[in-house]
Structure 1
Amino acid sequence: MKSVTGLFVVSVLLCSTILSWSATVSSYGDISRLGSPDFSGIKNFSIFLLDHVSGMLYLGARDAVIAVDTANLSKRKMIEWSVPEEKRKSCVAKGKTEDDCRNYIRLLEFLGDGHIYACGTFAFDPQCTFINISSFSLEKHEDGSMKMETGKGKCPFEPSQHYTAVMAGGILYTAATSNFLGTMYDISRATGIEQERIRTEQSINWLSDPEFVSSAFIQEDEKNNPTGEDDKMYFFFTEVAKEYDLYTKIKVPRVARVCKSDVGGMKTLQRRWTTFLKAQLVCEDRASGQRFNVLTDVFTVQHQPGDPSSTHFYGIFTSQWEREELSAVCVYSLEEITKVMNGPFKELKKTCENWINPEPIPTPRPGQCLNSALKEQGFESSLKLPDKVLTFVRDHPLMENSVVAAPLMIRNGITYTKLAVTLTMASSGLKQHMTTVLHLGTDHGELHKVAVVGPNATLIEEVPLFSAQEPVNNILLYKDEALVGTPLSLMKLPIVDCSLYSTCEVCAPARCLGCVWRHKEGACAIMKPGKEVEAEDLAGQCTKGEGLCSPPVIEMRVEKGLRVLLSCVQVSPRPCRWDHPPHSHTRRHNYDLEVQVTSESVGTYVCLCDEVGRDQPPCRRAEYLLTLDNPSMGGNVAIAGGQHFLAWHIIFFIVGFVLGGILLFIIYKWQGGMRGGRHSSSTLEKERDLLPSTDTPQSPSSASLLSEAVPLTEKRNGKLNGHGHNMHPGGHNGRHIYANSSGLKLQESALNLAEELDGRERVGPDGEEDGLGDGLSEMEEEFSKMPCLRGAPLAQCEESSI
């Protein structure tokens, strides 16, 4: 009866959580969704372009461009732009897949003359065309043929290639591959006057196997630009670092800058950038020393609208070295990037292969944009720059210093794919502070909202919008609504819906979205204009008389193998933490904690949350006591049956292996005895001399025949890991936690059979010798004498080049 009660409690908790997640989606009153059937089977949406005046959203898809009215998603129009059948067959004949030999629209940009410039992969032969916005049709020549031009350098060849582009003053700047094989990379001015179409130098010092992520055009303020600074384009990407002399390829995130008025050099760097500079972005958690080195998305926003100098870049990062899903968000200011670009250059001195700062730097400073001071010195154009300046910038595109930032937030078990940012100002007494709301799309079709106030990041919402197989690839915020897209679907939902927060405690963190709890109505609603509620007051309103810092201890009797979700509700925007048994298997869901029940998971779980005010002690929001229900029988039966079954298979395997070895030994002796009368001892000695000596010292990796055996099981910290993988709090997503509860895999073992049973005497947990070593060493010796195996060459051990 106790086990049934425990199962019932856990089921109710899990079901209530699932229902609450489902309710989160369904409770959005104005939610609208369009899928592939609504677009007549069109899919592979890759790019968004919004007309802020008309509210029309243009989507680039496979073989089509679609226009959708954001006010009413049911109003939509479509243009088909497909590849001719002959060209598609030619593409397939070159070794490409039938699916890739289509036209994937990767670029949509307004030209300012009532047209949209659209480019597609066009069966690995990029092409561009013009769309008339008023009639929403493709421009055609007088003879009726479609008006197209080459898209090489403007659009990638392959649908999955990383790519970014930005339009500045009607001129297109792109970062893309420039050849069919996808081995050449360019950051270029792709349109405009032919003589001014310039690109990067084909050198690994400039671009080393980059993965382009994002780009931004920063236009100087005409009224407040006393130095006459030029407009600039910034490109963000991840590339293989050349400054680290290591055996492994190290990826690093970069930001590169070029200037709008750059037209290349006269002799040196002809038709090449003379202002191309790049710097490393560092997103590092100093407390743990963890560095995130792969950039996946960047969102550009001005902290003070109308002031270009207040521009900040928010980036999503992952780690090259982490096996678990992991995401972090870092922010960089334009001021910090400019400071690094004006700093020292990095140089590789060939004599000692060390990176040093070069001296001296020629004048005028290499890589700088044209300004009033340079024009006064006679450098009205980059064509007039001296060769020594151009040679220096050609050889030194990388800056010595890095742009460093600490993560605003780190999430384990989550992979974020897309980011959008909104900023709100809130008052606190006489002071005003900025609240940043991160709208994050995941690779599992979810939308997360995170509020960042100072050093504190609070996860406000986790909204599952699409299926787990649809990663979010576009987020666009427009008129208090979020337009979220995947390769297959489009969804519109309100940015703020305070009715989702049903209690005062849940409503409190959403204050940064403009929500406030109204006690009279007992509901969370939009804050009235001109009225501000202090965070301290809001926290006090929720905690007044409710005793939330002294909750009762909830005892839960559970069985092994179950997963329990422990709830914790935080009022203030400050973080919460869980105190729990050290070896328990847990994963965070916002402030809630998921626990996989094992013998080490039993004990007390306490949720402690920091309150508003530095002098206040942490508040105990929740406390649970987990105890095993009938651990001697029921718990083992729940999850250990599979382990016992597998253990018997392992035992049978070992016994069969030993018996097979004995049988082979007997057969060998029997055959040797029959051959003994027909061969003399001298003949046997001559045969033995032709074979490798068994007395040659060998490396541990080739110590015996048993080192080639099939691995048996995992061994961690000196113990066989017979159940469960190592699980850290928040370290795995649901797929990793729930998969293979037995945790024992023959294919994924870390040590092979020779390392488990290597011929040396083992000491058991009680100090007794297991006695397996002698028998196996004798068996190895007999195996080494067998004619069919003695002549097998041993693999040589290569020394590392490091």
Structure 2
Amino acid sequence: MVSGGAMVTVLPVLWLLSEASWAATLGGQEGEHNLRDIILDPNKFGGVTNFSTFLLDRSSGMLFLGARDAILSVDTNQLDRPPRYITWDVSEEKRKSCVAKGKTEVDCHNYIRLLEFLEEGRIYVCGTYAFDPQCTFLELSTFTLEKNEDGGVKMETGKGKCPFEPSQHYTAVMAGGTLYTAATSNFLGTLFDISRATGPEQERIRTERSINWLSDPEFVSSAYIEQSAESNPTGDDDKIYFFFTEVAKEYDLYTKVKVPRVARVCKSDVGGMKTLQRRWTTFLKAQLVCEDKPSGQRYNILTDVFTIQQPQGDPSSTHFYGLFTSQWEHEELSAVCVFSLSDISKVMDGPFKELKKTCDNWINLEPVPTPRPGQCLTHALKDEGFESSLKLPDKVLTFVRDHPLMENSVTAAPLLVRKGIRYTKLAVTQTGSGAVLHLGTGHGELHQVEVVGQNATVLREIPLFTLHEPVNNILLHKGQALVGSPLSLARVQAEGCALYLNCELCARARGLGCEWSREDEACRETATKPGPDDTVEEALKQCDIKEGRCSPSTRELQVSIGLRLLLPCVQLSPRSCRWEHPPHRHTKQHHSDLEVTVTKENLGKYVCTCQEAGPDMRDHTSCRRAAYQLTLESPSVGSVATAGSRHVLAVYILFFCAGLVFGVFLLYFLLRRRGIGRQGHQLPDNSLSSGKGRDLLGSSATPQSPSSASLLSEGFRLTEKRNGTANTTTTTTLLSNQGNGGHHGNSYSGTLIHSNPSNGHGNALYSNSNTSSSSLKFPSEISAADMLDGRTGERERVRPKGGEQESEEGDKVDEGLEDGSGEGIKGLVEELATFPIFKSSAPLARCEESSI
């Protein structure tokens, strides 16, 4: 009671102080980025939402956005101009019919999922159209949809070209004026096709309806690889590649194992004559393996793919950067692997995999019929009389129908691994010695990471949108990144040394050819390539911070006995990390981070060391990533409440005393009232069973968190900041979430948006925006000073001294209620339950991870 009174009294002061601290942080972020970054929030789009598809005219800089019931046009060179838009919605009758079939009213709109350029200045547009996909043509000269004679929109069926449901995974690519798609092909979303969706009717072919071809796939991306005559002496056909995740049929396991795949079809394929009529005769698929072999960690869920092909027409230079996560990890996890087209081609030309149905085991099959099944037509095959796939023998077609999967896998080691972050979208800028990864997060941020060899360095982490707006599109154009969410659009400078505003950031971009100029106090480009000894480590030592990439300064944390805190260690390499700390075992490692329960014995130095790739990509060197010094001091509120301020501490003591007096007065008042009440009537001994006061007891119906090996299931209370957003595992917390990046307090209650971070063609179509971002809760542990690095914004946890006493008192009250000796206390609880201020719902169980 005493602690409760004091905490209630202190609440307004803490809230004001936390608001001031948050506003100061936000102002610093805006000041750093607003010179180059431009953000268009939902207010700029006149109520149009659910942007899912981007199409950029690189010659003019016009960006076309597919949204719900609308198509928008934005001039990326002049974002201050209001966007133009066309409405293409569904009639009320059509919407009611969709709802009557069991679909939600939100989904029964027209979500534009396809935008592709056609010849003669037109765009091919397809939308879900209330679960009845339709397509039409957009005239660029007039920015209008093609009309019928009656004035309505001229439409054609979109089945096979566009998904039925807004959130279904989907991808499409235009190859020589012909559309190739990977989508669901029925209303229920149970049939999946990779098809040639346009062109002459007799050439519209698709995959075979067999689980050996497609097994519950989630389509991610597609790419058209065109070969020029100069780089194609054999006359090999152009190819279309599709990337997806599906349920593996080759593993005999009880659990459904998902695997990432790459599938290939040939552009000139028109199907077979008798076998595989109107079906692909060149459909082959292989497994993608993104695995860190030293640790054995495999990332098996593909979420996005970015294709780089330079110069045009030369497939040998093509690389596919894949964004992965893991089916087996409960926490957020992201990894990036890169696959070359030459490696994929080698696997496609290798042995086939076969399921022997008698024992359900996969074995290699020999011999393979001639000509080789699944290959594209070349000059040599045409000379042999196979001018078309219609001329292929039935034994070849039967073989490829039964054996679409290759025996070997396309393997790669991860370039980047980040735990605690969910990346949703990826774009890549290649440099002379490496690449810059532009990564969108599920919390509206853009991260830029430099990768040289197998070592990664975080360059910038830019908050762009609110917490509930995942990044679903990234386009790179003229040194800029066009970043989209379901509600907003941003233009961010993506290239150039001038991006890095201080010496430390410039040093981290040393691999990009950047160097800090002390004369100009700016980051400049240099023609001198980094030598063997000219590393990021050495460049950082030239800065005033006097610490290198692998020699961070020790950061002192003032803690109190009994405090539980999480010491972060930023792990970029897939290699393992280890901690050096005092010998007393009150620690637990969670991935690369370390959880510590503070005692007098384990005060001291904590050092995190990670393994990174050496110069020859095979050796590994130790890199010290973080160092902390834990020292004992009385609890304080840290920088959130002006850390170390004696004046603030005096204010807390004053309010604590006031709360103490208030608690004593209230206790006296309740006891006196109970004494008067007893004179009038007697309560039965089992008064608690009557239902009074149950609001103060834990409910047996309270939903519980799933059991896991995480620190949350063991009752630890940790506060941690990830991606610029504070997350807490306690049931209550101090700071209210105001978004990230300057869009606080926005609530779009009129837009119901689902979450789907990876739907292939325009990922993360929906994000739930029916939320309020200003809920204020109360802490049992207070997140304090932002004393650590910018990746997690780790904060010192401070806990009031009265917490332990309060817990002991609570235990005594429970014992009194159980053994019958606490009748007075039971009565007090009963009286408290009659006061409205103390009536509240039963406390909820702690979630695995909840945002403030």
2:440 counterpart of 1:441: yes
Q: Which residue of 1 aligns with 2:769?
A: none
Q: Which residue of 2 aligns with 1:7?
A: none
Structure 1 counterpart of 2:246, which letter?
E
2:716 counterpart of 1:724: yes
Q: What is the CA–CA distance in structure 2 between the aligned matches of 1:583 and 1:201, rounded to whole Å?
A: 58
1:723 shift after superposition: 3.6
1:320 shift after superposition: 1.0
Q: Which residue of 1 aligns with 2:60?
A: 54
Structure 1 counterpart of 2:32, which letter?
S
1:171 shift after superposition: 0.2
Q: Deviations over 1:515-560 (max 9, x none)?
A: 3201112332x315x4545473465454259754788765432135
Q: What is the CA–CA distance in structure 1 between the aligned matches of 2:105 and 2:704, rounded to whole Å?
A: 43
Q: Which residue of 1 aligns with 2:558?
A: 557
Structure 2 vs 1, CA of residues 422 and 575 (structure 1 numbering), >3 Å: closer, same or farther?
Answer: farther
Structure 2 counterpart of 1:26, which letter?
G
Match of 1:41, SS state, is: coil
Q: Which residue of 1 aligns with 2:516?
A: 517
Match of 1:91, SS state, is: helix
Q: Which residue of 1 aligns with 2:604?
A: 603
Q: What is the CA–CA distance in structure 2 between the aligned matches of 1:464 and 1:446, rounded to whole Å?
A: 4
From 326, 334, 337, the equivalent of 1:330 is 337
Query: 2:718 touches 2:728 (CA, 8 Å); kept in 1?
Result: no
1:176 shift after superposition: 0.4
Q: Structure 2 matches for 1:443-482, cutoff 5 A?
A: 443-482=442-481
2:391 counterpart of 1:384: yes
Match of 2:28, SS state, is: helix
Structure 2 vs 1, CA of residues 51 and 629 (structure 1 numbering), >3 Å: closer, same or farther?
Answer: same
Q: Which residue of 1 aligns with 2:842?
A: none
1:16 shift after superposition: 8.8
Structure 2 vs 1, CA of residues 619 and 237 (structure 1 numbering), >3 Å: closer, same or farther?
Answer: closer
Q: Deviations over 1:62-120 (max 9, x none)?
A: 00000000001133210110001111111111111111100000000001221000000
Structure 2 vs 1, CA of residues 712 and 575 (structure 1 numbering), >3 Å: closer, same or farther?
Answer: closer
Q: How many residues align?
A: 649
Q: Comparing 493-502 with 369-378, which one deviates more in the overlay?
A: 493-502
Structure 2 vs 1, CA of residues 371 and 736 (structure 1 numbering), >3 Å: closer, same or farther?
Answer: farther
Match of 1:392, SS state, is: helix
Q: Structure 2 matches for 1:97-496, cutoff 5 A?
A: 97-302=104-309, 306-425=313-432, 434-496=433-495
Structure 2 vs 1, CA of residues 736 and 207 (structure 1 numbering), >3 Å: closer, same or farther?
Answer: farther
Q: Comparing 537-546 with 361-370, which one deviates more in the overlay?
A: 537-546
Q: What is the CA–CA distance in structure 1 between the aligned matches of 2:241 and 2:479, rounded to whole Å?
A: 28
2:634 counterpart of 1:627: no
1:327 shift after superposition: 0.9
Query: 1:412 touches 1:732 (CA, 8 Å); kept in 2?
Result: no
From 63, 67, 74, the equivalent of 1:68 is 74
1:382 shift after superposition: 0.2
Match of 1:188, SS state, is: strand
Q: What is the CA–CA distance in structure 1 between the aligned matches of 2:474 and 2:614, rounded to whole Å?
A: 32
Q: What is the CA–CA distance in structure 2 between the aligned matches of 1:298 and 1:181, rounded to whole Å?
A: 27
Q: What is the CA–CA distance in structure 2 between the aligned matches of 1:512 and 1:227, rounded to whole Å?
A: 39
Q: Deviations over 1:723-748 (max 9, x none)?
A: 4179999999953656679999xxxx
Query: 2:417 touches 2:571 (CA, 8 Å); kept in 1?
Result: no
**Structure 1 residues not aligned, in runs of 5+:** 1-10, 426-433, 632-658, 664-707, 745-802
Q: Deviations over 1:289-325 (max 9, x none)?
A: 1111111111100255552221111111111111111
Q: Deviations over 1:372-404 (max 9, x none)?
A: 111011000000000011011111111111111
Q: What is the CA–CA distance in structure 1 between the aligned matches of 2:270 and 2:154, rounded to whole Å?
A: 28
Q: What is the CA–CA distance in structure 2 between the aligned matches of 1:217 and 1:586, rounded to whole Å?
A: 45
2:37 counterpart of 1:38: no
Q: What is the CA–CA distance in structure 2 between the aligned matches of 1:720 and 1:91, rounded to whole Å?
A: 43
Match of 1:86, SS state, is: helix
Structure 1 counterpart of 2:43, which letter?
P
Q: What is the CA–CA distance in structure 1 between the aligned matches of 2:569 and 2:368, rounded to whole Å?
A: 60
Q: Which residue of 1 aligns with 2:727?
A: 735
Percentage identity across aligned positions? 62
Structure 2 vs 1, CA of residues 218 and 362 (structure 1 numbering), >3 Å: closer, same or farther?
Answer: same
Q: Structure 2 matches for 1:3-42, cutoff 5 A?
A: 23-28=28-33, 29-42=35-48
Structure 2 counterpart of 1:438, which letter?
L
From 533, 537, 542, the equivalent of 1:536 is 533
Q: Structure 2 matches for 1:604-683, cutoff 5 A?
A: 604-606=605-607, 623-629=627-633
Q: What is the CA–CA distance in structure 1 between the aligned matches of 2:251 and 2:714, rounded to whole Å?
A: 40
Structure 2 vs 1, CA of residues 20 and 286 (structure 1 numbering), >3 Å: closer, same or farther?
Answer: farther
Query: 1:418 touches 1:473 (CA, 8 Å); kept in 2?
Result: yes
Structure 2 vs 1, CA of residues 485 and 119 (structure 1 numbering), >3 Å: closer, same or farther?
Answer: same
Query: 2:559 touches 2:630 (CA, 8 Å); kept in 1?
Result: yes
Query: 1:458 touches 1:575 (CA, 8 Å); kept in 2?
Result: no
Q: Comparing 116-125 with 219-228, which one deviates more in the overlay?
A: 219-228
RMSD: 4.1
Structure 1 counterpart of 2:342, which letter?
E
Match of 1:297, SS state, is: strand
TM-score (norm 1): 0.73
The structure whose RCO (Cα within 8 Å, separation 6+) is larger is 2
Q: Which residue of 2 aligns with 1:702?
A: none
Match of 2:469, SS state, is: coil
Match of 1:439, SS state, is: strand
Structure 2 vs 1, CA of residues 540 and 162 (structure 1 numbering), >3 Å: closer, same or farther?
Answer: closer
Structure 2 vs 1, CA of residues 17 and 36 (structure 1 numbering), >3 Å: closer, same or farther?
Answer: closer
Structure 2 vs 1, CA of residues 620 and 317 (structure 1 numbering), >3 Å: closer, same or farther?
Answer: closer
Query: 2:231 touches 2:313 (CA, 8 Å); kept in 1?
Result: no
Q: Comparing 150-159 with 601-610, which one deviates more in the overlay?
A: 601-610
1:334 shift after superposition: 0.6
Q: Comparing 440-449 with 542-551, which one deviates more in the overlay?
A: 542-551
Q: What is the CA–CA distance in structure 1 between the aligned matches of 2:147 and 2:245, rounded to whole Å?
A: 39
Structure 2 vs 1, CA of residues 451 and 587 (structure 1 numbering), >3 Å: closer, same or farther?
Answer: farther
Match of 1:74, SS state, is: coil
Query: 2:446 touches 2:463 (CA, 8 Å); kept in 1?
Result: yes
Q: What is the CA–CA distance in structure 2 between the aligned matches of 1:569 and 1:368, rounded to whole Å?
A: 42
Q: Which residue of 2 aligns with 1:760?
A: none
Structure 2 vs 1, CA of residues 424 and 720 (structure 1 numbering), >3 Å: closer, same or farther?
Answer: closer
Q: Which has the larger radius of gyration?
A: 1
TM-score (norm 2): 0.69
Match of 1:508, SS state, is: helix
Q: What is the CA–CA distance in structure 1 between the aligned matches of 2:181 and 2:293, rounded to whole Å?
A: 35
1:224 shift after superposition: 1.7
Q: Which residue of 2 aligns with 1:794?
A: none
Structure 2 vs 1, CA of residues 120 and 710 (structure 1 numbering), >3 Å: closer, same or farther?
Answer: closer
Q: Comparing 494-503 with 208-217, which one deviates more in the overlay?
A: 494-503
Q: Structure 2 matches for 1:698-709, cutoff 5 A?
A: none
Q: What is the CA–CA distance in structure 1 between the aligned matches of 2:554 and 2:217, rounded to whole Å?
A: 54
Q: Which residue of 2 aligns with 1:688?
A: none
Structure 2 counterpart of 1:187, which letter?
I
Match of 2:156, SS state, is: strand
Structure 2 vs 1, CA of residues 405 and 458 (structure 1 numbering), >3 Å: closer, same or farther?
Answer: same
Q: What is the CA–CA distance in structure 1 between the aligned matches of 2:116 and 2:109, rounded to whole Å?
A: 21
Query: 1:118 touches 1:128 (CA, 8 Å); kept in 2?
Result: yes
Query: 2:547 touches 2:553 (CA, 8 Å); kept in 1?
Result: no
Query: 2:288 touches 2:409 (CA, 8 Å); kept in 1?
Result: yes
Q: Which residue of 1 aligns with 2:525?
A: 527
**Structure 2 residues not aligned, in runs of 5+:** 1-15, 636-684, 690-699, 734-778, 782-852
